[in-house]
Amino acid sequence: MGRSAAAGAPLTGRNPRVAIALLVLLVVVAIAAPWFAPSDPRAQPDLARIWEAPSATHLLGTDSAARDVLSRLLYGSRVTIGIATLAVLVSLTLGTLVGASAAVLRGVGDAVLMRITDAMLAFPRLLLVILVVAGTGDPGTFSLAILIGATGWMTTSRLVRQETRRLLATDHLRAARALGVPRRRLLTRHVLPGLAPTLAAAAVLSFAAAVPLETGLSFLGLGVRAPFPSWGNIIADADSRPLAHWWLVLFPTIAIALTVIAANVVAEGFARRAREDAASGGGA
Amino acid sequence: MSVAAQEPATDSLLRVTDLTVRSARVERPLLDGVSFTLDRGRTLGVVGPSGAGKSTLALAIARLLPRGLSVDGASTIHLGGDALHELDANAMRAIRGRRIGYVFQEPALALDPAMSIGRQVAESAQVHGVPEGEAATRALEWLERVGFPDARRAARSFPHELSGGMRQRALIASAMILEPELLIADEPTTALDPTIQDQVLDLLARLRQESRTTLLFISHDLATVAERCERVIAIERGRIVDDRSATEAVAAYRARRAIPSFEIPTPEPGTPLLRVRDLEVEYTMRGLFPWGAAATRTHTAVAQLDLQIARGEVVALVGESGCGKTSSANAILRLVEPRGGSVLLDGLEMGRLKREPLRRLRRRIQLVPQDAGASLTPHLTAEACVAEGLEVHGLAEGATARRKARELLAELGLPERVARAVPRELSSGERQRVAIARALAPDPDLLICDEPLASIDETSRAQVLTVLSTRRARRGLALLLISHDLDAVRRLASRVLVMYLGRVIEHSVGDAALVAPRMPYTQALVAAIPTGDPSARLRRSLLRGELPILSPPSAGCSFQPRCTHPLKDERCSAERPMLLPVGPAQPTHHVACWHALQAP
């Protein structure tokens, strides 16, 4: 009963509809920001009106350079989500390559790849990113995304290794081998589709990790820099007076929190699905 | 609902009227107006092909139907004087376990792997208000009654430590602990060996008499049902098509069970298609800690297997599960690396082949695995699965391959919808036939079939055998048939090998080893075949105990500890008998038993 009840729960089950809807909405907002936003996020229509609290003219107030916070928040979602998505693509590719190779190679190859993964995990990610950014100066949006992805593939590689090993030992893989299916086709046609739920979970999970990392860096002034908006550097504009300039802190924080929580819930749903598939002996 | 339904006849325990069950996804009802009564203390068998609705019927009575299936409003189910169809979920929970016991088909799935057997059996009493201490005592008592030699030890063990037969006994104990009025047994022995199946069914019969329980026994195997029940109803496509006494049902069954004559081939002289010499398979088990005596143990699954198969020949490998049949098949196919010996296909040593030549060779020697359902890749349609064999061996591509796959599926009697279905949408019999189609697609010379007919009903079985027979006659397909269905083996095989604990202990050209078995073990195996005749059952020399798979190998005859031969002596435990011809008159019937050789 417990399991079937959980499967139908909109928030915590294998199909967390509310969280998925939230993430979809976020992506739609990011894409459609130019149509929604009341003004250009970099425009400074009236330099006298800095740090204005929310009002009818500026629904979410203005920042240190008199820019419209609502517009910056909407455009900022493009930057934040864009960077996180690109980072996920990088980490998913790296993680799948490393994890699947480790599972297929076994023995020494497996040991080497997984110890590299362990070493990467042992190094604090934030510190690593800060060191690289500090060493190279202004990284630019694209390089920042690559950097976040390149430091975040380890969880994925562990998950993928585990799941690939399980799939490689299933009856249907043995049967495909007995049929004479060549190795490459075995992987692309029989193993990889079975990995889909695991990869989906890993993707959303690394998305949930990439968002706070990027916004954190931007907040510190190491990520996306003004006048380009990011949820992180909007908060930074509160100019160390978060209570006085509460709107600059509150709205981006809500956006970040909702995104991260929704992504975690969705990831948990996918992971549940992967577990249930594994328990029923299947793979897709 | 009529008023009369409130007052069932005094002696009827279960009364089902007009039971109709629908699925949200399928238009045709799964059960269509099923009505029957079962009198108190009686046994009723329910038979029918897979997918006929037998399990749906059992689940509907216990109100355990999965989501998506619903019972029509007009259906009524009465147990004693209670209308089960009117009860709410809580009231029903109080009835399940207390008044209706349920034994499922697959004991491995019905037991919780993380809970000790004792606690699981006790729990079935505890949920109905029996205090913990008393439940534990009763559980021990019941574990003893279902035949655990040491009930305390059994109570402490976990499901994975028990064999299939013992798990089923534990499940029966937990179904019977409150001595329910009605026991529903849904294919309780289908997953078990015939020898074990017999023991479990005897147990059920004994308990039923002791506790005066009424039994609803579901099986696809009429022979088994008829031996154990007084009345048999047959279900097909959700409707009752037959309802009569067991004796009449068996007579009808005998008339129908004519496996299409499968001309038994004579082996041709010359180079055999497959020659296996001295094949040995060993498994290494590692303990939890890399030190101490239990660090690594080796288990010899197959020892000194010699085997030859000519083109077009059908060779059968029989024995209880765990005897090394499947390991032999896997080693011949090089799915596991044998420890020693050689496998030659057309004189070509398979062990020396590198990966790519070995892969290409696999076209010629195909496998129908034991668990056909699990052997199908879950996300591939049946059509894609069958077409794959053509594609990877360069025999056909794309649309042509898929068309050929559909033709092959149709040849095996599968309806059109199967081609586009993924495995979880198919019944187990359909999956098995998809696996057979997949193996036949690349047009192999040799087909290794591991229990190919296990979950296929009579009609489809005939279809499968016809296809195999045609292939054999037209293209010289050879078969290595691994099975414990001795009845089918006897009709098909031109050579029979009987295995016990990894060794061939009896071997004959033709079916002599099964018609006139000399080895006590083979005799017991043959005796365990259900015939549908309750009187024949009593004559059986039952095989006691189970396969001692993990005990240390003895120097003597491996069967000796379970042997009931009157002449059993010290030589049996000291010296391993070799395979020798039974006598000068039977040069092609070999047996490994010191006492079978003496003239009777």
pLDDT in tens, A30-74: 999 888 888 888 888 777 888 888 888 888 888 888 888 899 999
A134 touches chain B (CB under 8 A): no
pLDDT at A13: 64
Give the mean pLDDT of A173-186.
92
Record the tokens describing residue B545, joined without a space.
């105990």
How far is B323 from B305, CA to CA, in rounded Å?
12
Size of interface A-B (CB pairs under 8 A): 75
What is the CB-side half-sphere exposure of residue A212 using CA atoms within 13 A? Answer: 15
DSSP chain A: -HHHHHHH-TTTSSS-HHHHHHHHHHHHHHHHHHHH-SS-TT--S-TT-TTPPS-SSSTT-B-TTS-BHHHHHHHHHHHHHHHHHHHHHHHHHHHHHHHHHHHHH-HHHHHHHHHHHHHHHHS-HHHHHHHHHHHHS---HHHHHHHHHHTS-HHHHHHHHHHHHHHHTSHHHHHHHHHT--HHHIIIIIIHHHHHHHHHHHHHHHHHHHHHHHHHHHHHTSSS-TTS--HHHHHHTTTT-TTTTHHHHHHHHHHHHHHHHHHHHHHHHHHHHHHHHHHTT---
pLDDT at B294: 57
Q: Which of B57, B168, B55 is nearest to B121 (CA)?
A: B168
Contact B378 A180 (CB under 8 A): no
Which one is predicted more confidently, B58 or B106?
Answer: B58
pLDDT at A275: 79
Contact A179 B376 (CB under 8 A): no
pLDDT at B216: 93
Task: Tell me the Cα Rg of chain A.
Answer: 22
Contact B392 A180 (CB under 8 A): yes
Residues B15-43 have pLDDT tens digits of 999 999 988 767 788 899 899 999 988 89
Least confident segment among B106-110, B438-442, B541-545 = B541-545
Record the tokens describing residue B151, joined without a space.
């009930």
CA of B424: how far to CAs of B398, B427, B428, in Å?
Answer: 24, 8, 9
Check: CB of residue A265 under 8 Å from CB of residue A19: yes
pLDDT at A221: 86
Output the average pLDDT for chain B: 83
Structure letter (DSSP) for residue B170? H
Least confident segment among A177-186, A222-231, B263-272 = B263-272
How far is A233 from A256, CA to CA, in rounded Å?
12
A3 touches chain B (CB under 8 A): no
Distance from the A198 Cα atom to the nearest Cα atom in chain B, whole angstroms: 15
pLDDT at B403: 95
How far is B141 from A11, CA to CA, in rounded Å?
46
| B333, B392, B439 ranked by CB distance to A185: nearest | B392
Interface test with A, best of B332, B377, B432 (most A CBs within 10 A): B377
Residues B495-506 have pLDDT tens digits of 999 998 888 999
Contact B388 A177 (CB under 8 A): no
For B160, residues 6+ apart whose C-beta sits below 8 A from its C-beta are: B113
Residues B406-458 have pLDDT tens digits of 999 999 989 888 899 888 888 778 888 999 999 999 999 999 998 877 667 76
Burial label for B103, CB within 10 Å (0-12, 13-18, 19+), is buried
How far is B344 from B351, CA to CA, in rounded Å?
8
Contact A179 B362 (CB under 8 A): yes
CA of B108: how far to CAs of B104, B151, B420, in Å?
Answer: 10, 19, 31
pLDDT band (50, 70, 90) for residue B532: low
Give the mean pLDDT of B507-511.
86
Helix (H, G, I), strand (E, B) or coil at B500: strand
The neighbour count for residue A65, using CB atoms within 10 Å, is 15
Which one is predicted more confidently, B542 or A53?
Answer: A53
- CA B465 to chain centroid: 18
Contact A176 B388 (CB under 8 A): yes
Instruction: Give ∠ CA B559-B583-B343 in degrees, rounded to 5.
Output: 60
How far is B579 from B504, CA to CA, in rounded Å?
8
Q: Which of B169, B467, B367 is nearest to B155 (CA)?
A: B169
The neighbour count for residue A205, using CB atoms within 10 Å, is 23
Residues B296-355 have pLDDT tens digits of 667 788 888 999 899 888 999 998 877 888 889 999 999 888 998 999 998 889 888 898
Determine the residue of chain A that is closest to B439 in CA distance. A179
pLDDT at A205: 92
Q: Tokens 């929704």 — which residue?
A: A262
Instruction: Give ∠ CA A271-A273-A276 in degrees, rounded to 5.
Output: 110
| A176, A180, A277 ranked by CB distance to B377: nearest | A176
Q: Which of B507, B369, B511 is nearest to B447 (CA)?
A: B369
pLDDT band (50, 70, 90) for residue B14: very high
Check: CB of residue B520 under 8 Å from CB of residue B565: yes
Contact B388 A284 (CB under 8 A): no
Query: What percentage of chain A reaches a pLDDT higher than 70?
Result: 93
CA of A282: how far to CAs of A104, A149, A168, A173, A190, in Å?
Answer: 19, 30, 12, 11, 11
pLDDT at B112: 84
How far is B62 from B68, CA to CA, in rounded Å?
16
Identify whether A227 is preceded by a cis peptide bond (ω within 30 of 0).
yes
How far is B148 from B530, CA to CA, in rounded Å?
24
Output the average pLDDT for chain A: 86
Does the pLDDT of residue B157 top 90, yes or no? no
Phi, psi of B563, rounded to the nearest 5 degrees: -75, 140
Contact A180 B442 (CB under 8 A): yes
Contact A171 B371 (CB under 8 A): yes
Determine the residue of chain A that is closest to B386 in CA distance. A179
The neighbour count for residue B161, using CB atoms within 10 Å, is 13
pLDDT at A8: 47
Q: pTM value? A: 0.74
Record the tokens describing residue A131, joined without a space.
């060191």
Residues of A within 8 A of B438 (CB-CB) are 175, 179
Check: CB of residue B62 under 8 Å from CB of residue B77: no
Does the pLDDT of residue B135 top 90, yes or no? yes
Q: Tokens 């365990």 — which residue?
A: B528
Record the tokens describing residue B209, joined without a space.
């008499």
Record the tokens describing residue B168, joined without a space.
């089923």
